[in-house]
Chains A and B, each alone.
Chain A
Amino acid sequence: MLNLTNIQGNILRGYASFPHAQFLFFAIDNADDAKAFIRRLLDMEAVTPALWRAKPDATLNIAFTFEGLRALGVPAESLATFPSEFQEGMKHRADELGDIDESSPEHWDDPWRTHRVHMLITIYGRTEPALAAHCQRLRDLLPNGMQELKPDQPAGQLQIDGKLTRKEHFGFEDGLSNPAVEGVPDRDSKDRENVGNPDDKGRFRKIPLGEFLLGHPGDGGELAPMPLPHLLAHDGTYLVFRKLEQDVVRFRRYLEQQADAFARAIPGGLPPDITAQDFLAAKMMGRWQDGSSLINYPERPGKDRRNTFGYAGDPAGARCPLGAHVRRANPRDALGFGGKTMSRHRLIRRGIAYGKFLPRGEEPESQETRGIIFIALNSGFDQFEFVQQKWMNFGDDFEQGNDTDPIAGNRPVIGGRRSAQMMIPGDEASGRRPFICFDIPRFVTTRGGDYFFVPSLAALGLLASGRVVA
């Protein structure tokens, strides 16, 4: 049974109509103070559930790291039942996650580099004043036994030409494809259509709730391993928080450098109104900037965000390259076997941008950074780590050898060569020749993050009571 009043918000449905966000980080020095603080928030009905009676002006949600649960006084018998990745935390998983070189934890931003965050409070507002007022109300309630770790992390939907958009800093529509989950409406918002996993017949089937929420059957009818006690875990989920800095100038410069050579690979020339940079960027991303799919619109953007497409009809990647970012992140039917080898590796994403959009042609101000707060939800961190290890930072499943994701992948030296190339397959039908992007620099760098547990509202009550018994 799906009890939306017990599940925290921003898990099964996104906060698309709350364009402004603030992430606040806390350390717990005194467990009793922290428990009283949580109790107070619950009594005030301040924690936003998945289903609200009246739409609030701002939302508030709570998550804990493993150290946070320990600081809150959760007994060792219960802590030991949490997954090992969660117990270790993201910093210690750096090698597995490919957080190496510039992305390694010693280069992260504060508070991630210097502190172990215990508690994450996420506040989203419909307006900036509503967000600021909500943050202030929360800070006013903060007890002595908890300290806020600075700096906080503002974020929000990108403002481009004075309008709020759902784009990310490289200029692409973001959050277009989230999993369609059993028992949950198909749409995140008016223009966001979710799809599930492919089946044997080339159709899409909804994904079982248990892939994203603890205590419910997942793929194959199984429950994900649950921490104890049951009440603590049920209707909860695991949240991956990553601060990913995007180097927009480097991305645009690379496209410019490659543009002429790429254009020469197209015998009849570029389609009208399409620049080589835009075409190349679309090939690397796997979608046009307006969100339309290369599968449906291989030559020019279609202003069409329909999401019910597959890759099986494009096995060589003539339309959408096998190594393109979106084809890696969600391979749909590309891997065959009726989707069975990809179905357990889906993630709900609730990312939101941070920093100011950099208009084309403008130089950034020094010290100004921008990127995305990547948020993924899954019922086991192995789901996220698989995508990160095998699909972002390795290419074997996509016939790409060791080559990493052209947009979000790391750039390790493997076998004496830096894995930084991407094949853009040619097309025999149109005569377009294959084009290899060599020496792709790193465009995305990890600047912080951790693994969090998002309890249900009932579980928050249990944590506040201090009566957690495994």
Chain B
Amino acid sequence: MADRARNQYGSGKAVTFNVITPMTRFGTWIVWALLCIFDRFKSTQVTAKELAFLPFVHWVIVKRDNFPKVSDGQPAEALHYDYLFFLSTFNGPWGPYIEAFADVLYKPLDLVWFWSVGYPFARPVGPLKAYIQRNQIESDHSYSAYPGASVRDVRAALDLRNEVEKLFQNSNGLSPERFAAEFDRMLISVQNKLGTFGPT
């Protein structure tokens, strides 16, 4: 399964990643409270946002009596557990993604996944990889607004536009020498945001 989470050249900029794990009933309420805290206090998300190979990380609780049905005629299943649905996309090979996740974000991972049945803790990462492989679900389809852009590409493009617009607004009436100096200042401010981009 892990090998399928690859695009051309084995990397790709937004490989989808879904894990669904059963939770105890008590755990559901703890996880719900944790997710509310993560949502309310954005500072808890800082480290995850700094991991720029992660375009997107999302946890969803699916209650046992609230599983989606294809049609009204589909009979409801009698499930024993609530489920924790983890959705993410990442940029790069599967193994190192899990390792970096476990090495850097082990605290929130353990807090949220501790309530899932059979969760082995984030470290050591070997058992975590096996656990994820057992519970991972492949995506047949996924939507990406910018399939050719990584998180860093998007941030760089936004910064670049901002800086160019600033120069445009502030350059009216500048002498050629002053404009050259302002242009050089702008160029230095965006110099590491000019890499080529596109789908890999």
Contacts and interface: CB of A to CB of B under 8 A. Distances in A.
Contacts of B142: none
A386 B100 contact: no
A294 interface: no
B9 A389 contact: yes
Interface string A319-339: 000110000000000001100
B200 A394 contact: yes
A401 B9 contact: no
Interface stretch (B21-29, B32-40, B60-68, B90-98): B90-98
Interface string A334-357: 001100110111000000000000
B11 A401 contact: no
Interface residues of B, number: 41
B47 to A, nearest CB: 8
Nearest to B183: A433
Given A98-B9, A341-B100, A399-B152, A222 B124 contact: yes
A368 to B, nearest CB: 32
Contact of B93 (A222, A336, A385, A428): A385
Contacts of B126: 222-223, 225
B96 A96 contact: no
A81 to B, nearest CB: 15
B109 to A, nearest CB: 14
B10 A95 contact: yes
Contacts of B11: 389-390, 394
Interface stretch (A53-61, A270-278, A412-420, A442-450): A412-420
B103 A401 contact: no
Contacts of B195: 323, 395, 399-403, 421, 423
Interface residues of A, number: 49
Contacts of B91: 396
A127 to B, nearest CB: 43
B125 A401 contact: no
B53 A389 contact: no
A390 B97 CA distance: 12
Interface string A401-437: 1110000000010111101010101101000011010
Contacts of A98: 9
Interface in B71-105: 91-93, 95-96, 99-100, 103-104
A401 B10 contact: no
Q: Is the interface of A mostly helix, strand, loop or mixed?
A: loop
A426 B196 contact: no
A170 to B, nearest CB: 23
Interface stretch (B131-139, B163-171, B185-193): B185-193
Interface in A297-329: 316-317, 322-323
Contacts of B10: 95-96, 385, 389
Interface string A213-225: 0000000111101
A393 B11 CA distance: 11
B128 to A, nearest CB: 10
Interface in A200-232: 220-223, 225
A425 B192 contact: yes
B177 to A, nearest CB: 14
Contacts of A220: 103, 123-125
A433 B100 contact: no
A417 B125 CA distance: 38
B156 A341 contact: no
Nearest to A341: B100
A434 B198 contact: no
Contact of B196 (A221, A223, A225, A401): A401
A84 interface: yes
A389 B184 CA distance: 33
Given A341-B103, A344-B99, A423-B192, A399 B156 contact: yes
A313 to B, nearest CB: 16
A425 B191 contact: yes
B192 A399 contact: yes
B183 to A, nearest CB: 10
Contacts of A403: 195-196
A305 B187 CA distance: 33
B26 to A, nearest CB: 30
A166 to B, nearest CB: 31
A220 B100 CA distance: 11
B196 A390 contact: no
Contacts of A337: 50-51, 103-104
B3 interface: yes
Contact of B200 (A316, A414, A436): A414
B194 interface: yes
Nearest to A380: B95
A428 B96 contact: no
B196 A419 contact: yes
A102 interface: no
16 contacts: A84-B3, A221-B124, A222-B124, A341-B103, A382-B95, A385-B10, A389-B10, A393-B9, A401-B153, A402-B195, A414-B197, A415-B196, A415-B197, A421-B196, A423-B194, A426-B187
Given A399-B193, A401-B152, A417-B198, 18 more contacts: A220-B123, A316-B191, A323-B195, A337-B50, A340-B104, A382-B93, A382-B96, A389-B10, A389-B92, A390-B11, A401-B195, A415-B196, A415-B197, A416-B198, A423-B192, A425-B188, A434-B188, A434-B191
A-B complex: 3 closest residue pairs judged by Cβ atoms: A415-B198, A401-B195, A96-B10
